[in-house]
């Protein structure tokens, strides 16, 4: 059974940053690429978005604390 992991309600939006976006990110925060959290290329989301080793991924809407009641009828 195959499904698109990116369509799951608990998986936030991911995208790969361009080189210029990476430069801006690193200079804005005064950090190096190695200071960022790591994500394996074997991660299901990495595979789904076509990420390669060295790519920087932007995660949007990953505030897991904002889930509210998981048993809510609103979901």
The pTM score is 0.71
The residue behind tokens 């080793």 is: 53
Chain segment 9-62, per-residue pLDDT in tens = 888 899 999 999 999 999 999 999 999 999 998 999 999 999 999 999 998 875
Query: Domain spans of the chain?
Result: 17-60
Fold of 17-60: Eukaryotic RPB6 RNA polymerase subunit (3.90.940)
pLDDT band at 72 (very low <50, low <70, confident <90, very high): very low
Do residues 51 and 41 touch, judged by C-beta distance below 8 A? yes
């Amino acid at each position: 059974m195959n499904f698109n992991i990116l369509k799951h309600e608990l998986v936030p939006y991911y995208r790969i940053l361009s080189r210029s976006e990476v430069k801006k990110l690193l200079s804005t925060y005064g950090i190096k690429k190695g200071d960022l959290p790591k994500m394996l290329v074997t991660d299901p989301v990495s595979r789904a978005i076509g990420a390669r080793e060295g790519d920087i991924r932007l995660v949007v809407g990953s505030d897991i604390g904002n889930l509210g009641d998981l048993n809510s009828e609103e979901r």
